[in-house]
Amino acid sequence: MTEVIGVKFKEVGKVYYFDPAGNKVEKGQRVIVETVRGVECGICAAENRQVPDEELVKPLKAILRVANDKDLRTLEENKEKEKRAFEICKEKIEQFGLNMSLTEVEYTFDGSKILFFYTAPERVDFRELVKRLAGIFHVRIELRQIGVRDEAKMLGGLGPCGRPFCCKEFLHDFTPVSIKMAKEQGLSLSTVKISGTCGRLMCCLKFEQESYEYLLKHTPKVGAVVDTDEGRGVVVTNNLLTGMLSVRLDRSPEAAPISVHRKNVRLLRDGQIRVNKEELAALGDLE
C-alpha cells in the first residue's frame, strides 16, 4: 500500500495520483506539482489515503508543495493573462484569415508555455500565427486542435434537456456512443432528437444503455414470434419499460394487434435490432 492524494487540473477532469510528500492535504486545497506539461497548480480531489500498489503507475511523482498565497496570486494573474492572450490570438486569426475557431487559452503555472485550443473543419497551416504569437508573448506557444465534444466540455452550456452539459458537470472522459444504442432505446432516429448541442450523439445514451440491454434480454423484440393465450403472433411494437407488447395474431392478421405483457408470452423466435445502411449513411457523422 502507498499513501497518495488525488489531484485534478480541471473542474471536471481526470484525477491523478501524487505522493503527498509527508503533507496532510485536505480536499479542495491547491497543490503545486510537476507534470509532463511542466509545473502546474492542481486541486486536491481526494485526501490522503492508502492505495494498493497494483493500482498505481510508478514511479509516483511527489507534490512540490501545498499552494501558498503567492502561488494563488500567480494563478489569478495567469487567468488575467489568458484573457488577454485569447483576444490577441483571436485578432491574429482574423488577420491571417485562418479557418479556425479559438476555444480556450491556458497558461502553464510557471508561465513557460501558452496552450491555445481551437476547432477547425480541416487542417490549418498556423506556422505564421505561432511565430507572431511567440514574438508577442516571448514564451513557448502550442496550438492544439480539439473536437466538438471537447469544445462543448470546455465552454459548457445547456443541453436539449435544459440541464448543464454532462461533460461539463461530471463526465471525466468521453465514452463511445453509437446509433445502435439510440435504436435499442426506442428513440426516433432524428438528428434533432438524438444529438446534443455539440452536434454529436448525446452522451446520456450511454448512461441508460446497461438497463436497456438487460430489458432487451427479457423482452421480445419487434419482429419476434411469440405464443400468447389467444394464439401465435408477431410482435409489432414493444415498450421495454412497461413490458407491454403489441402482437398481431397469425389467425387474424387484419385485426388490430392485441396488448399483452411480456410475462404472458412464450418466445419462439426473437427479432433483431440492426442499423441499416441508409440509417448509418444519414446519421454516421453523429458518432
Residue 233: predicted pLDDT: 96
Residue 280: predicted pLDDT: 82
pTM of the model: 0.75
Mean pLDDT of the chain: 91
Which band of pLDDT confidence, cut at 50, 70 and 90, is reported for residue 134? very high
pLDDT tens digits, 55-92: 887 788 899 999 999 999 999 999 999 999 999 999 99
- Identify the sign of the CA torsion 9, 13, 14, 19: positive
* CATH code 3.30.300 for 73-146: yes
For 222-269, CATH number? 2.30.30.30
pLDDT tens digits, 3-37: 999 999 887 778 889 999 889 999 999 999 988 87
Q: Which residue has the cell 507534490?
A: 63
Which band of pLDDT confidence, cut at 50, 70 and 90, is reported for residue 170? confident
Alpha carbon 255 to its chain's center? 47
Which band of pLDDT confidence, cut at 50, 70 and 90, is reported for residue 113? very high
Q: Where along the chain do its domains lie?
A: 2-67, 73-146, 222-269
Asked if residue 236 lies in contact with residue 226, where contact means CB atoms within 8 angstroms, the answer is: no
